[in-house]
Amino acid sequence: MSRPTPQTRAAYPYHHPIQTRWADNDVYGHVNNVTYYAYFDTAVNAYLAGQGALDLTGGEVIGLVVETGCAFFAPVAFPEALSVGVRVAKAGRSSVRYELAVFQDGVAAAAAQGHFVHVYVGRDSRRPVDLPAALRAALAPLMTG
């Protein structure tokens, strides 16, 4: 498996600010790997909620993560201010592949980048559903190549 090359900020149409917390650091003095996934989830869901495409508590459709991955290039640590770049590589009938990257303030190259795939399902049925029109509209500005 070949190692990915760090992307730059310009490769991501949306950036969500993230402030590291004291609890994000692990015993090695940097943000623990699992915390990056929380940053990714926060950025995507904040964007979708802000666009009116996701009702976190009462919507009929929810996104379930079915695949995820991350490559790390540089350590980050509390008390750094970060941003998470978000783009959409593919939107299918009921799924979306989000690609994300963590950037340190003032650094052009990603400290980490990854992806996750959401399958959108009925809140009650947990069965795949077509992406709602509002969600497709919100994803359009994030689509890449």
Predicted confidence at residue 84, as pLDDT, reads 98
Q: Which pTM value belongs to this model?
A: 0.94
| Residue 103 contacts residue 15 (beta carbons within 8 Å) | yes
- Residue pLDDT, tens place only, 11-58: 999 999 999 999 999 999 999 999 999 999 999 999 999 999 999 899
Domain-wise residue ranges, the chain? 9-142
pLDDT at 131 exceeding the cut of 80: yes
Look at the chain and count its residues: 145
Pick the CATH number of 9-142 from 3.60.20.10, 3.40.50.280, 3.40.50.720, 3.10.129.10: 3.10.129.10
Distance between CA atoms of residues 101 and 104, nearest Å: 10
The CA radius of gyration of the chain, in Å to the nearest whole number, is 15
- Residue pLDDT, tens place only, 45-92: 999 999 999 998 999 999 999 999 999 999 999 999 999 999 999 999
Distance between CA atoms of residues 110 and 97, nearest Å: 19
Predicted confidence at residue 2, as pLDDT, reads 77
Distance between CA atoms of residues 15 and 142, nearest Å: 11
Q: Which whole number is the average pLDDT over 90-99? A: 98
Reported as a pLDDT band with limits 50, 70 and 90, residue 1 is low
Q: Which whole number is the average pLDDT over 99-111? A: 97
